[in-house]
Amino acid sequence: MAIRNLAQIRCQAESMAVVTDHGHIMTEQRRIPASEFKAKCLKLMDEVRDTGEALIITKHGKPVTRLAPVDMKPPSQFGSMKGSVTILGDIVEPVETGWADAIRHWDELHEKPPADDQK
């Protein structure tokens, strides 16, 4: 597909997404020229608040500042690791390695040498 003009490039850049090796989708933040931001400032502020997505404001195509929503409450940590752990085998059954042997070996390593009785 050939890109014919700057509008097509901007449209493609606004919809770009990157998929990380963990399967998370990261979209590139939307960029807007300062002149357009100035004309639509209040509308864009409401949009950022409602969508939760930040906006990068540019001057001459270079990023100058970022408009981002204020986090009123921190995200919950409950469930944040969901789906990231895989259980292999039975987690209730005792481990088949000899714990008694491991404890005995530990005690042998940390045994105090017998004191010499000097009279």
pLDDT in tens, 29-71: 899 999 999 999 999 999 999 988 999 999 999 999 999 998 7
Q: Is residue 43 part of a domain?
A: yes
| Residue 55, pLDDT score | 92
Q: Is residue 89 part of a domain?
A: no
pLDDT tens column, 63-97: 999 999 987 777 788 888 888 888 877 777 766 66
Q: Is residue 52 part of a domain?
A: yes
Give the number of domains in the chain: 1
Q: Is residue 44 part of a domain?
A: yes
| Residue 61, pLDDT score | 92
Q: Is residue 104 part of a domain?
A: no
pTM of the model: 0.42
Give DSSP secondary structure letters for 73-108: SPPP-TTTTTTS----S-SSSPPSS-HHHHHHHHHH
Domain that holds residue 61: 29-69
Q: Is residue 62 part of a domain?
A: yes
Question: Per-residue pLDDT averaged across 16-33, rounded?
Answer: 64
